Structure 1
Amino acid sequence: MAPPARFDIIAIGNAIVDVIARADDALIDAEGLTKGSMRLIDAVEAERLYAAMGPAVEMSGGSAANTLAGMAALGQRCAFIGQVADDQLGHVFTHDLRALGVAYDTPALSAGAPTARCLILVTPDGQRTMNTFLGASHLLEQAMIAEDRIAASDILYLEGYLWDPPLSRAAMRRAIDVAREAGRKVAFTLSDAFIIDRHGPDFRALIAEGLFDILFANEVEIGALAEEADFETAVAKVAAQVPLLVVTRGEKGAIAIRNGERSAVDAEPIDQVVDTTGAGDLFAAGFLAGLAEGRPDAECLTMGAICAREIIAQVGPRAQTDLKARIAARLG
């Protein structure tokens, strides 16, 4: 039996600063982008696209870091591992995460690539199209993964986006081993269908080995992972291989399947979708916070849906409302 944990969750993910700007559909079309998608870009393309964007707002982001920000706001003990550079954006990211109460002390790079940034175009329908320059974030090495903290955390949460770079992939593989050896649970979020296109065989092998206790996906990702067009067929195929599968479905709500038992929740009502950036990240925050509190899966889903609603009603991926109060008003 594992000893009592110091942290409820420790996450490994991209340390990114988001640059968010409003954009019309004409710009999306002119740039040849797929609305609602995420793509990787290099430094030159980042500079060119930034020049084409309108007035922007900068705030710390990164999928797993967003999830921790939400969990910290809900009172959970959180730690983060991710690589920034010793530059202005790196200092912003570090300050923002620590200010939320998240333990974060991965040493910054003193030379080489700058801190990662994600250029996000938000169209009038609230959809976000992300263009990510990974910069320093993809240089996370195995030596940086703080094995003592992983062993002292109830859940290790891994961000699929960070599986792409070889260095960070090796670090995450080692982190999985550390967590399993310490008797801790491993949660994985698939992040995006394009990551599955590139690394689907890896993910399927890890699942087949029983290395993931909790798997997060959206409707598109679960189909890509299962290689099945029908949603229910895809869900059944993957749910048979993981102890807990959580799938978000946008306006159709979300489901969780634990050892064959299914729970479902409707999407929370909202007057206007402002920006979908971080919706999945905050859903995961609510769900995982519920797990940390020992709540049943149905309540965890509701907590996730409430957090997702709050985030899509604002600009940016870090909550500007009191998530804890919103959940207490609904669930107590």
Structure 2
Amino acid sequence: MSQPSTQVIAIGNAIVDVMAPCDDALIERFGMTRGGMTLIDTDRAKELYAAMGPAREISGGSAANTLAGLAALGARCAFIGQVAQDQLGEVFAHDIRAGGIRFDTAARAGDPPTARCLIFVTPDGQRTMNTFLGASQYLPAAALDEAAIADAEILYLEGYLWDPEEPRAAMRRAIAAAKSAGRKVAFTLSDAFVIDRHGDDFRAMIDAGDIDILFANHIELASLTGQDDFHAGIDSLKDKVPLLVVTRSEQGAVAASGGKLYEVPAEPVAKVVDTTGAGDLFAAGFLYGHVNGRAIDECLTMGAVCAAEIISHYGARPEANLTELVARRLG
């Protein structure tokens, strides 16, 4: 098998995050699901945007955020995702390429516009996300560069993009391309609502051996396994996935591999400003350690360091030097 030129190639939603602080009363007034992610239509997007205070626009999307962290650490990365031929599409393409990530997917003409996520951040740092998927849900299988997928050490997929039919078919094709080339497939479950809709698909993929690395948080783990007890959930999956990684917010993270369990505490943070992207950047730190041959407990620590950096400021893209933070922590 040839040496891959790309370390991680990801397929995900190409989204621009529009973020603004708000009080709890606004969340209640508009009936938003506090701390969760809700898919919205065009009319709801306009209504919520009108209610936002001064906002920041930052390119986002779960898998793209993970790649931004990986690239900041020095990994060779590529992204596949659909934007429209509009201003936000140009913003997204510029931002991801400026981060050193290869992005060759052609922009889509006409409606719908580029996806955007309206994020309301309450004083405790919780983010309430309202996502208009727009053009991102029309990623066709024809947009895949199967040679690029075969030339990447890891194919990384986000569960959020499993919901629309067209990109779901594209991701199935991408998994087949990666597997036929002898590459690893990493999958992040993204949110419990995705599991509620597609859990049977995910469980079938796990049983078929299609997923080599599975990322989840403790809520998603319970939803996927039907086990409310955290350790029972781990036990039910640990022999089905070669590498299982589960985050537990302030309780740290756990990994299971080869019959062994690894655990690290959360890194200390002076103040939690915004939890947007914490799981995405945890995956970035973990995967960076993994593709560079670090031990699993070190990979977990690298993930925790990156997650701590991201929750200390607004936005899901790193602002501090992640390489320095990791080096300071691990030596």
User: Aligning the two structures, in what range does the TM-score lie when normalised by the shorter sequence?
Assistant: over 0.9
Q: CA deviation at 1:110?
A: 1.5
Q: Does 2:236 correspond to 1:226?
A: no
User: Structure 2 matches for 1:18-29, cutoff 5 A?
Assistant: 18-29=17-28
Q: CA deviation at 1:32?
A: 1.3
Q: CA deviation at 1:25?
A: 0.6
Number of equivalenced pairs: 331
Residue 131 of structure 2 aligns to a residue whose secondary structure is strand
User: Structure 2 matches for 1:112-151, cutoff 5 A?
Assistant: 112-151=111-150
Residue 96 of structure 2 aligns to a residue whose secondary structure is helix
| Equivalent residue, structure 1, for 2:191 | 192
Output the CA distance in 1 between the equivalents of 2:204 and 2:291.
Answer: 28
Q: CA deviation at 1:245?
A: 0.2
Instruction: Provide the identity percentage.
Output: 63
| Equivalent residue, structure 2, for 1:157 | 156
Residue 49 of structure 2 aligns to a residue whose secondary structure is helix
| Alignment deviations for residues 240-270 of structure 1 (CA, whole Å, 9 cap, x no partner) | 2100000000000001101211111000001
Output the CA distance in 1 between the equivalents of 2:324 and 2:115.
Answer: 33
Residue 29 of structure 1 aligns to a residue whose secondary structure is helix
| Equivalent residue, structure 1, for 2:83 | 84
| Equivalent residue, structure 2, for 1:315 | 314
Q: Does 2:289 correspond to 1:280?
A: no
| Equivalent residue, structure 1, for 2:58 | 59
| Equivalent residue, structure 2, for 1:329 | 328
Q: Does 2:96 correspond to 1:109?
A: no
Output the CA distance in 2 between the equivalents of 1:46 and 1:35.
Answer: 16
Output the CA distance in 2 between the equivalents of 1:239 and 1:249.
Answer: 16
Output the CA distance in 1 between the equivalents of 2:77 and 2:151.
Answer: 11
Q: CA deviation at 1:7?
A: 0.3
Q: What is the TM-score when the length of structure 1 is the normalising length?
A: 0.99
Output the CA distance in 2 between the equivalents of 1:321 and 1:107.
Answer: 31
Output the CA distance in 2 between the equivalents of 1:131 and 1:114.
Answer: 16
| Alignment deviations for residues 211-237 of structure 1 (CA, whole Å, 9 cap, x no partner) | 000000000000000011111111110
Q: CA deviation at 1:112?
A: 2.1
| Equivalent residue, structure 2, for 1:16 | 15
Residue 212 of structure 1 aligns to a residue whose secondary structure is coil
Consecutive unaligned residues of structure 1, counting only runs of 5 or more, are none
| Alignment deviations for residues 128-175 of structure 1 (CA, whole Å, 9 cap, x no partner) | 010000000000000011101000000000000000000000000000
Output the CA distance in 2 between the equivalents of 1:77 and 1:139.
Answer: 26
2:49 alignment partner AA: Y
| Alignment deviations for residues 1-40 of structure 1 (CA, whole Å, 9 cap, x no partner) | x210010000000000000000111111111122110010
Residue 10 of structure 2 aligns to a residue whose secondary structure is strand
User: Structure 2 matches for 1:29-48, cutoff 5 A?
Assistant: 29-48=28-47
| Equivalent residue, structure 1, for 2:263 | 264
Q: CA RMSD in A?
A: 0.6
| Alignment deviations for residues 75-108 of structure 1 (CA, whole Å, 9 cap, x no partner) | 0000000000010000000000000100001000
Q: What is the TM-score when the length of structure 2 is the normalising length?
A: 0.99
| Alignment deviations for residues 279-330 of structure 1 (CA, whole Å, 9 cap, x no partner) | 0000000000000110000000000000000000000000110000100111
Residue 294 of structure 1 aligns to a residue whose secondary structure is coil
| Equivalent residue, structure 1, for 2:180 | 181
Output the CA distance in 1 between the equivalents of 2:228 and 2:103.
Answer: 40
1:275 alignment partner AA: D
Q: Does 2:206 correspond to 1:207?
A: yes
Q: CA deviation at 1:109?
A: 0.4
Output the CA distance in 2 between the equivalents of 1:90 and 1:229.
Answer: 40
Output the CA distance in 2 between the equivalents of 1:298 and 1:238.
Answer: 19
Q: Does 2:79 correspond to 1:98?
A: no
Output the CA distance in 2 between the equivalents of 1:89 and 1:238.
Answer: 39
Output the CA distance in 1 between the equivalents of 2:199 and 2:291.
Answer: 29
Output the CA distance in 2 between the equivalents of 1:52 and 1:330.
Answer: 41
Residue 80 of structure 1 aligns to a residue whose secondary structure is strand
Q: Does 2:69 correspond to 1:70?
A: yes
